[in-house]
Amino acid sequence: MRALAVMVATVGGVGYAPVASGTVGSLVALPLLPPLAALRGYAPWAYAVLLVALVGIAIWAADRAEDVLGAEDHPHIVIDEVAGLVVAGIVLPGTWLAAAVAFVLFRLFDVVKPFPARQIDASVEGGLGVVGDDLVAGLYAGLVTRVLLAVV
């Protein structure tokens, strides 16, 4: 189970990228956004189940991987970036433009950690703390992208 948790948490080893592992992890989720938006339009219940399952698995894997890797929010753990960017897609149309803008904004919000992301990152332990701040960053990225696309 420990090896499986690390494999999931590092997204098949993507988290071992020598630089910008969080960005590389986010890039894994980027091509998922348009097809997930199509799924959301066709079968919203399936999309909701998939999203809840992804977040649950991310929290579980991040929690276990912290123990195995020996550090809180270890840089090799990137499943949180995948979950966060997928959360951004909740409110986005299924276009590559929307996905690209959300990706950039997600990375920005993941670094800046606007309220309450910073508080979650600082005070919530375990997998929920690892993933929680990215879920907030994803939500902000999705909403801001939606607004930007409506204005432009």
Q: Tell me the per-residue pLDDT of 95-106, one tens digit each, with 9 for 90 and over.
A: 999 999 999 999
Q: What is the pLDDT of residue 1?
A: 87
pLDDT digits (tens, 9 = 90+) for 1-43: 899 999 999 999 999 999 999 999 999 999 999 999 999 999 9
Domain definitions of the chain by residue range: 2-151
114: cis peptide before it, omega within 30°? no
The residue-averaged pLDDT of 40-49 equals 96
Task: Tally DSSP H helices, then E strands, for the chain.
Answer: 8, 0
Q: What is the pLDDT of residue 93?
A: 96
Give the list of residues 6+ apart from residue 18 with CB closer than 8 angstroms, or none: none
How does residue 46 score in pLDDT terms, banded at 50, 70 and 90?
very high
| pTM of model > 0.75 | yes
pLDDT digits (tens, 9 = 90+) for 122-146: 999 999 999 999 999 999 999 999 9
Integer Cα distance of 104 and 51 in angstroms: 21
